[in-house]
Amino acid sequence: MKKIIMVMLSLCMLFATSPLMAADGTAERRDGSTLSQQDQCLLYSKKCMDQADTLQDKMRKLDAEIKKGTRKYTPEELKRLEDKLKDANNTLDLLLRH
């Protein structure tokens, strides 16, 4: 019984520490850029726990990333960024109306 519990605890510890041993997100993309070169906070809402941007700052960042175009982002990612910029503009419009 003790052996089973020890094995289960060992497996739990292994799975708990596996994210620490994972890759750092610098996977090579087909266009030669890496995910770390992209703004993952804007694109995927990842790695932005320590950022607190105003709505205008976020809109400026989104616009700057969109201007980088297909040399940095795929067409699908550009569409996602454009949708986020459109949502931010709509939010700003709603806030300014009321």
pLDDT tens sequence across 10-64: 665 655 654 544 444 444 444 454 555 566 676 666 666 666 678 888 888 889 9
Q: Please, which pLDDT band fits residue 82 given cuts at 50, 70 and 90?
A: very high
Whether the model clears a pTM of 0.75, i.e. scores above it, the answer is no
Strand partners, 28: 34
Q: What is the pLDDT of residue 76?
A: 92
As given in the structure block, the two tokens for residue 39 are: 């703004």
Give me the domain span that covers residue 27.
2-97
Dihedral (Cα; 43, 83, 67, 25), 10-degree rounding: 10
- In the chain, the number of structural domains is 1
**Is the CA virtual torsion 45, 55, 92, 60 positive or negative?**
negative
Q: Please, which pLDDT band fits residue 9 given cuts at 50, 70 and 90?
A: low
Whether 26 and 34 have beta carbons less than 8 Å apart is answered as yes
Q: What is the pLDDT of residue 51?
A: 66
